Amino acid sequence: MHKNILEELTALVSRALVKAGLDKLPPAEIIIDFPTDNRFGDFTTNIALKLSKLLKRPPREIAGQLVEIIQGEIPESALKDSISQVKIEGAGFVNFYLEAGYFYDQLGKIIAQGKEALRLDTGKGKKVLIEFVSANPTGSLSVAHARQAAVGDCLANILEFLNFSVQREYYLNDEGNQINILGKSVELRRRELAGEKIEFPENYYQGDYIYDIAKEADKQKIKDGQLGDFAAGYILKIIKQELSDFGVDFDCWYSQKELAKSGKIEESFAQLKEKGFLYEQDGATWFKSTAFEDDKDRVVIKSDGSQTYLAPDIAYHQDKYKRGFSWLINLWGPDHHGYIGRIKASIEAFGHSPDSLSVIIVQLATIFRNGQPVQMSTRRGQYITLREILDEVGADAARFFFLMRRTSSHLDFDLEVAKKQSAENPVYYVQYAHARICSILRSADIKLKEELDLSVLAEKEELDLIKKMLEFEAVLNVCLVTCDPYMITVYLQELSESFHKFYDLHRVLGQGDALTCARLELIKGVKIVLSCGLELLGIAQPEKM
């Protein structure tokens, strides 16, 4: 049995190319793929089409030469029992048709090993730090944070599954201007509660939660000067609880205050200065980010002597590398996209490759209720919070909805649809397939002694289902390459569909021992893959609904 059919086929094609003297393309150009439709075989490669221009020969002629050599190679290869046919089809595609036995072997492996059979060692233990949410502790988490939380956590799950060593981190903005304003907001509200007439500035935090904090601060007799820290601590506790209820747990809460105290900011400035990337102008200190493809240089110390937000951020990213991470992933809101250039510039200034930092811009989600967008204003403290979404639709539906569009796309999230327990709601479609399988397994009262023979699974729907299961690892790879978990949600709906189709046409129970037994194993396999995918999404795998 082969660990990975894609690698084996790639190797086979590669050898054939060498033998034919046609190895003119870099090895990475050999791509073995799932065909768009399974009437074109089980795997396909477009290599002949790619070579056509280079060799100035018709693609089908090249394909013919390759197929001939490949057919000669097969008896010597590890795939000799698996490949049934290699054919040229269409414009010059080389399509591989596999023996059914291959699929039975793979199914058997999944049943025997469970989800471990689906695991890949792509990461080889590489240390990756994924930073996400990182909202200021000045109010409840918004919808935007909620989507980032879902995407970040799920991406981290996938990377862990692919054997990366992942740390989830939340950068905590626990000092600075916003915290000062937060403290003053609480101070004013406290005086108001004490009966004093106050003017509440527009740029202060308007939400009602400030009153709650003011009451608590009063009870604990917190001094005015401490209110910022007190309020931030109070809110942070709420944020942690919200995230935890959403199924998102961070390994590290990185405090900006601690960073400032550590002297690391000054240290990074000293290094930048030494390298000649800092200069003074108009009374401010500037980082020469234009040396690295930023639009303009950026102020790090303002003319009044205080630091901009960029100052600790430069040191923070530098510190990520110092802690041993070789791949940094940051999830930011779309309002931060202009920030990418300067942060990449800073890591380059310290000699790191800009490619070692992946910045993922998570586009906004618009909340709808019955088809009408819900208006939001953060400034006035009027926005839908993660807490409200959790209370209204639950963590499972919320996570699935946040993940089911490409991360770079806007997302419409209708609370009423997410609440519906019907086909309109894809999360139930997938969970229903899982529950249905569990139900059949519960009804199956069979203790068969007969040898299990999966080869009785010869129906089209049975083979389609097995093939769909085997696509799972390719889906994980797409998630890795695109740094986007959403493809899993698409895949799980497809796998569920294959299962429902099978279920509708073929009965599992009461089909005679041999067939029933094999079909039970088949649906056990589907359950393993569904369950694995749902687990990566952070969504429950219900046995009953």
Restricting to residues 394-433, name those near RNA by CB under 7 A. 405-406, 408-412, 421-424, 428-429, 432
Instruction: State the DSSP code for 374.
Output: P
Residues 363-392 that bind RNA (CB under 7 A): 363-364
193-203: burial string, b at 16+ Cβ within 10 Å, e else: eeeeeeeeeee
**Quick one: 117 or 427, whose CB is closer to RNA?**
427
Residues 163-222 that bind RNA (CB under 7 A): 173, 176-178
**Quick one: 167 or 173, whose CB is closer to RNA?**
173
Residues paired with residue 206 on neighbouring β-strands, in sequence order:
none
Of 189, 2, 159, residue with least CA distance to 77: 2
Q: Minimum distance from CB of 325 to RNA (Å)?
A: 23
Task: State the residue for tokens 């609480």.
Answer: 186
Q: Minimum distance from CB of 322 to RNA (Å)?
A: 22
Stretch that binds RNA, among 71-79, 102-110, 395-403, 501-509 (CB under 7 A): 501-509
Instruction: Report DSSP letters for 476-511, one per residue.
Output: HHHHHHHT-THHHHHHHHHHHHHHHHHHHH---TTS
CA–CA separation, 228 and 217 (whole Å): 11
435 near RNA, rule: CB under 7 A:
yes
Phi/psi of residue 201, nearest 5 degrees? -60, 155
Residues 308-367 that bind RNA (CB under 7 A): 308-309, 334-339, 361, 363-364
Residues 506-545 that bind RNA (CB under 7 A): 506-510, 543-545
**Quick one: 221 or 481, whose CB is closer to RNA?**
481
Token pair, residue 69, equals 């050599």
Residues 6+ apart with CB under 8 A from 211: 189, 193
**Residue selected from 75, 223, 445, 481 as contacting RNA according to rule CB under 7 A:** 481
CB atoms within 10 A of CB 370: 8
- Total number of residues binding RNA (CB under 7 A)? 87
CA–CA separation, 281 and 265 (whole Å): 20
Q: Minimum distance from CB of 478 to RNA (Å)?
A: 6
**Quick one: 37 or 451, whose CB is closer to RNA?**
37
Question: Are the C-beta atoms of residues 345 and 287 closer than 8 Å to each other?
Answer: yes
What x-and-dash track marks residues 21-60 binding RNA by CB under 7 A?
A: ----------x-x-xxx-xxx--x-x--xx-xx-----x-
Q: Minimum distance from CB of 30 to RNA (Å)?
A: 12
Q: Minimum distance from CB of 369 to RNA (Å)?
A: 14
What x-and-dash track marks residues 87-106 binding RNA by CB under 7 A?
A: --xxxxx-x-----------
Q: Minimum distance from CB of 127 to RNA (Å)?
A: 26
* Residue type present at position 449: K
**Quick one: 121 or 424, whose CB is closer to RNA?**
424
**Quick one: 72 or 373, whose CB is closer to RNA?**
373
* Residue type present at position 58: P
Of 343, 383, 376, residue with least CA distance to 131: 343
List the alpha helices (DSSP H) in 74-115: 100-113
**Residue selected from 128, 159, 397, 440 as contacting RNA according to rule CB under 7 A:** 440
CA–CA separation, 435 and 440 (whole Å): 9
DSSP H/E element including 279: strand 278-281
What x-and-dash track marks residues 130-159 binding RNA by CB under 7 A?
A: ------x-----------------------
Q: Minimum distance from CB of 408 to RNA (Å)?
A: 4
